[in-house]
Amino acid sequence: MNGEKTTNQRADGLNYAPKSEGVRHVVCRPGEFVFSAAYLDHGHIYGMATGLIEAGGELRHIYDPSENRAAAFKEKFPKVRVVSSLDEMLADSEVKLVVSAAVNNRRGAIGVRVMRGGKDFFCDKPLFTSLDQVEVARRTARETGRKYMGYFSERLHSECAVRAGELVREGRIGRVVQVIGLGPHRINIPSRPDWFFDRDCFGGIICDLGSHQIEQFLFFAGAGNARVASSRVANYAHKQYPKFQDFGEANLLADNGVAGYFRLDWFTPNALEAWGDGRTFILGTEGYIELRKYIDVGGTGEPDTLLLVNGTENERMNLHGKVGYPFFGELILDCLNRTENAMTQEHVFLTSELAIRAQDMAEMVEG
């Protein structure tokens, strides 16, 4: 986790662990919030653990069926205890929360076990790959009173996105009317496990990468609900993986009239010094915001660049290291105090349902 370039580009392709370089939001004392990590399939687990530790959490156990994966994780977090099952960490009454980045289609069942075990659950996105999984988790959360939270890193672990939320709330662009998200990703084939290319496992590109976008759309739109207007997926250039999807897009409409569009792809070219030129455009009646999240391509190259233009302001903000990631502390406090300030449970389930619906109804483009 040290020595990353600020563009979040690492030689080994592991760029999943943004680390606060400036502002930190510590919310509790050592030992006050203990959590554990189980099923470490996706590198996002590093970012999830880092975010919670930076906010004051104590990572106690890890569990993974692969000894290599557990050992690699322990190397980054040496104080952690490797245990031999999920049940072992659930049996520790001090553990409040279990974090997981299992293979996508197994996350729902693990979350249900965790909630039944009396702990809150914090899951990498996508949280589910089918509506049935969401339904079971919804019921379990209701019955147990436990939380099933989501790591939507493209907003929660992005300092410019955090600041954008504040600017929208302050009314700096008037009423929001549309949110556009561009989510290109570098595929880096040698770094990917087999399940990455199998739609049954990863859930489809809209379910997977699109859940970030839908979460942001609902958040910036201030929407309580939304419907999918249309969506499409394609596998344009990776025919050697017939169950893969390298392109996806969707149009949504929120219940408050705000429109949403996003495009996802696995075409980040190698000369880009970041894993993706992720953008968000928030259009308001009085102005607009553009986020150049991971790199200001063609400009300074810096991550966390926010552009704000309205009737009187035309501002460029370089926010890297200046905002921090308040979500993680809010999540810890929500778990300790049984509040919903970081994110509501309904928002999490709604995001997942919309992502799966957009995926399931997507037209498959032949090309």
d(CA 185, CA 64): 26
Size of the site for a copy of itself (CB under 8 A): 55
Nearer to a copy of itself, 78 or 190 (CB): 190
Q: Where are the beta strands (DSSP E) in 39-76?
A: 58-63
Whether the link from the prior residue into 126 is cis, omega within 30° of 0, is yes
Interface with a copy of itself, residue 53, by CB under 8 A: no
Interface with a copy of itself, residue 78, by CB under 8 A: no
Minimal distance, residue 298 CB to a copy of itself, in Å: 4
Helix 345-360 vs helix 205-221: crossing angle, to nearest 10: 130
The DSSP letter of residue 277 is: -
Structure tokens at 187: 């595929």
Nearer to a copy of itself, 147 or 186 (CB): 186
Site string for a copy of itself, 238-277 (x = CB under 8 A): ---------x-x-x-x--xxxx-x-x-x-x-xxxxx---x
Structure tokens at 139: 């019921």
Interface with a copy of itself, residue 298, by CB under 8 A: yes
Contact set for a copy of itself, span 151-180 (CB under 8 A): 174-175, 177-178, 180
Under 8 Å between Cβ of 168 and 282: yes
Other CB atoms within a 10 A radius of the CB of residue 143 amount to 10
d(CA 185, CA 170): 31
Contact set for a copy of itself, span 303-342 (CB under 8 A): 305, 307, 309-314, 316
d(CA 276, CA 279): 9
Minimal distance, residue 111 CB to a copy of itself, in Å: 33
d(CA 134, CA 130): 7
Interface with a copy of itself, residue 366, by CB under 8 A: yes
Interface with a copy of itself, residue 90, by CB under 8 A: no
Interface with a copy of itself, residue 190, by CB under 8 A: no
Nearer to a copy of itself, 145 or 257 (CB): 257
* Structural Rg of the chain based on CA atoms: 19
Contact set for a copy of itself, span 208-237 (CB under 8 A): 229-230, 232, 234, 236-237
Nearer to a copy of itself, 34 or 289 (CB): 289
Question: Which distant-in-sequence residues (6+ apart) come within 8 Å of 139 by Cβ?
Answer: none
Interface with a copy of itself, residue 183, by CB under 8 A: no
Under 8 Å between Cβ of 5 and 15: no
DSSP line for 62-104: EE-S-HHHHHHHHHHSTTPEE-S-HHHHHT-TTEEEEEE---G
Nearer to a copy of itself, 14 or 365 (CB): 365
Nearer to a copy of itself, 256 or 344 (CB): 256
Minimal distance, residue 287 CB to a copy of itself, in Å: 4
Contact set for a copy of itself, span 272-291 (CB under 8 A): 272-273, 277, 281, 283-288, 290
**The amino acid at 211:** S
Question: Which distant-in-sequence residues (6+ apart) come within 8 Å of 344 by Cβ?
Answer: none
Structure tokens at 177: 């009317």
Helix 205-221 vs helix 159-169: crossing angle, to nearest 10: 40
Binding residues for a copy of itself, rule: CB under 8 A, are 174-175, 177-178, 180, 182, 184, 229-230, 232, 234, 236-237, 247, 249, 251, 253, 256-259, 261, 263, 265, 267, 269-273, 277, 281, 283-288, 290, 297-299, 305, 307, 309-314, 316, 363, 365-367
